Structure 1
């Protein structure tokens, strides 16, 4: 997978705006389209932009807090309708399983390209000159250790609900590291901020699009390149007995929906398929929210106002 700020409204939130009667009459159903919200800023922005566009087209929108992977149970049954961000890096397996049932549909790419991997600040290369090669990690385990993990190195992973197979990767690559999962996205990057200010050792999960690459200098660890066989065939790679002896996949961020959306709300279905936004646009909005302290809904409203020609194209106006 805010991955930097938790919602003040932690559960289902119904969002509506004053819509003209004529606009309401044009939509195929007045039942709410349920869009899922997760626990990282970018996904909240993506979803709120899409929700605002659908509202402007006359649709009734409901935002529902849901787990990133477990949401597929609701998408299969139609209790949930749209998830705006499934990352190739961590969500591909769950997405493929769901779409194979025919109950969930892949609505295409968001326009954003995802990277999620182990990351370190540039100043750490002085203490571990073999970086970014993953094979240097064991030589520098004590450099990355803490009193709680010594002599093992410490890797600060993402919240466990994000997936990513970091615990399996450590075991498969025989890394002398303990994976410590951050409780929240905010905690993850608060620790990076603290370490960076002190030039203290830190090795952690960083993802893009995100503001971290704007604010900090650093690099991702270069693991053996991901292949599908690495995750599915233990005999592949350096460890012939275990899978996940490689890095995470990289690629698009996808949109998915309950398969019934195209029949019940065909106009909304088309608009969601048309949605696209760039990494740079998203990173800029995330930075406004997480670094400048701007209200998320205000940032979304500004984008919607400034990009009216773009989103009207999505809804065919």
Structure 2
């Protein structure tokens, strides 16, 4: 009797699984890329779990932020859920121009990524947040390893960002040092902030850090596309990147074949939207409270079923 019941349950489960897959266009896995910061993994996991609810087979693939475009072009990777206007615009434009990668719309989040300092540094570097103050007080941000040059703590190398180019173009007496990981970046901020040690670093939003710590973004000359491409534009006639980073939407993009192979999934991905506030809260749960990403996503999905269920209708 027990064996028959077990067999019945197994057959029922198999039938349900077959039915779920029969409702989607292909049983092949949709490969969603994940990167090395919590917010991006949260965004991708939300999308992946919603697609699973619709019956799709989903695979999460770890990939470098900028190198992923090669896989998206060939179809070895299928969807990137967080492409920041601030750092990925050039890579997106190049990929879209090939026709092999297509935009899947905005995520609903607005991005800022820029040099940031704790407010207490204004005593050591009067004139901040204007960037020109850094020209005369770089040493205030120095460490034993960089003195007399100031130390700028950048994000992991894979994030891009053109910080070395900007330092050279604007003649800033700073050395760019890259954090190994997202976690290491914010661990160093926490340690410096508690001791009131000198620090200036890459901070981004949406994130919990700008809310938790008192500080400001440096005000560089306004960004323009021409400033990144034409040396004649900007303060330094011999160099590009002599301006601030761009700000703007966080985008989704995918392999051109997604809409043909999984049209229902493509519509769901295009419908995905989340706010800076919601994402900041999720990242805070994960990074500050130690909640597992899967648990934080599950909690959000329970509380927002009306939102995500509309994506897969």
State the match for 1:239 in structure 2: 236
State the match for 2:85 in structure 1: 88
Mapped to 2, the partners of 1:311 and 1:295 lie a distance apart of: 20
CA deviations 1:263-282 (Å, max 9, x no partner) are: 00000000000000000000
Mapped to 1, the partners of 2:131 and 2:100 lie a distance apart of: 40
SS at match of 2:176: strand
Q: Which of 181, 194, 197 is equivalent to 2:194?
A: 197
State the match for 2:224 in structure 1: 227
State the match for 2:268 in structure 1: 271
1:207 CA drift (Å): 0.3
Q: Would you identify which runs of 4 or more consecutive aligned residues in structure 1 move more than 4 Å?
A: none
Mapped to 2, the partners of 1:214 and 1:248 lie a distance apart of: 21
1:21 CA drift (Å): 3.4
Mapped to 1, the partners of 2:134 and 2:49 lie a distance apart of: 45
1:19 CA drift (Å): 6.1
1:23 CA drift (Å): 2.2
TM-score by length of 1: 0.93
SS at match of 2:87: coil
CA deviations 1:174-220 (Å, max 9, x no partner) are: 00111111111111111100000001110000000111012101000
CA deviations 1:234-283 (Å, max 9, x no partner) are: 11111000000001000000000000000000000000000000000000
Mapped to 2, the partners of 1:259 and 1:39 lie a distance apart of: 25
Q: Which of 111, 116, 127 is equivalent to 2:113?
A: 116
1:103 CA drift (Å): 0.4
1:22 CA drift (Å): 2.5
State the match for 1:207 in structure 2: 204
SS at match of 2:246: coil
Q: Which of 35, 38, 41 is equivalent to 2:35?
A: 38
State the match for 1:101 in structure 2: 98
1:66 CA drift (Å): 0.5
SS at match of 1:273: helix
SS at match of 2:253: strand
Equivalent residues in 2 for 1:136-147 (5 A)? 136-147=133-144
Equivalent residues in 2 for 1:244-255 (5 A)? 244-255=241-252
Larger radius of gyration: 2
Mapped to 1, the partners of 2:18 and 2:214 lie a distance apart of: 52
Q: Which of 182, 185, 188 is equivalent to 1:185?
A: 182
SS at match of 2:132: helix
Mapped to 1, the partners of 2:255 and 2:159 lie a distance apart of: 21
Q: Which of 104, 108, 128 is equivalent to 2:125?
A: 128
1:19–1:58 Cα contact (<8 Å) kept: no
State the match for 1:299 in structure 2: 296
1:20 CA drift (Å): 4.1
TM-score by length of 2: 0.94
SS at match of 2:60: strand
1:19–1:56 Cα contact (<8 Å) kept: no
Mapped to 1, the partners of 2:36 and 2:145 lie a distance apart of: 27
SS at match of 2:116: strand
CA deviations 1:121-158 (Å, max 9, x no partner) are: 01111111200000000211111111111111110111
1:24 CA drift (Å): 1.7
Q: Which has a greater percent of helix? A: 2
Q: How many residues align?
A: 299
Mapped to 1, the partners of 2:16 and 2:124 lie a distance apart of: 59
